[in-house]
Amino acid sequence: MITPDFVVSFSAEALKMALLISAPMLGFGLVVGVAVSIFQAVTSIQEMTLTFIPKILAVMVSILFFFPWMIEMMLSYTANIIINIPNYIR
């Protein structure tokens, strides 16, 4: 039987997994964004497009680097959900 506690714990686990999987890309984007902002402040270059391209490249590189780990995390989470479907129905 599905209880409110089950729904809350299931949702919390899903949010935790989403944050865990997205953390490397967000971290790389944050570090590159801060570095570009410091560079812009030091050189007084205020070009708006200068902030986007390095962040996009950093996120792409982090996806390439962390992709096997991200897939493994998603597969184990999904397999755990599918295996426990009989327990969820009770």
Q: Look-up: residue for tokens 């089950």?
A: 6
Task: Report the C-alpha dihedral over residues 48, 53, 58, 63, rounded to 10 degrees.
Answer: 120
> What is the extent of the structural domain holding 30?
4-89
* CA distance linking residue 71 with residue 27, whole number of Å: 18
Q: Which of 20, 16, 49, 54 is nearest to 36 (CA)?
A: 54
List the pLDDT tens digit at each of the 90 positions of the chain: 788 998 999 999 999 999 999 999 999 999 999 999 999 989 988 888 888 999 999 999 999 999 999 999 999 999 999 999 988 887
- Give how many domains the chain has, as a whole number: 1
Burial (CB count within 10 angstroms: exposed 0-12, middle 13-18, buried 19+), residue 52:
exposed
